[in-house]
Structure 1
Amino acid sequence: MRGEAMKVAVIGAGSTYTPELVSGLMRERERLGVSELVLHDIDAQRREVVGGLAKRILERQGYSGSVQLT
């Protein structure tokens, strides 16, 4: 990991692109050092569905940082 831990906020996280973004963050986790991920979307249903998928991806990849859905 380079530098300090990073917080990443995704605006419009209910998008179908979010799982791919999360997978990419995990592929580059050593280089990026993401310690906190915030997924934000105004559509609560989409946020919960896509956020749940993102959480499962992160769990499967052994992500130890925090995840928030807002």
Structure 2
Amino acid sequence: MPIVQIHILEGRSGEQKETMIREVSEAISRSLGAPITNVRVMINEMPKGHFGIGGELASSTRR
């Protein structure tokens, strides 16, 4: 059973996350030959204040 973990910054809509889960699941199923019903996708959303980019908080550097 393939399990995919995706770490993203907060702020994506439910629709965007749903699309990402569907498309990642399809890609894993296709590339590994695994039934899509066996693919698991976990999204870990991080607050922008808990992630650094180039030595600065993402909340300071990203819009």
Bucket of the pairwise TM-score, normalised by the shorter protein: 0.3 to 0.5
What TM-score comes out, normalization by structure 2 length? 0.38
What TM-score comes out, normalization by structure 1 length? 0.35
Q: Which has the larger radius of gyration?
A: 2
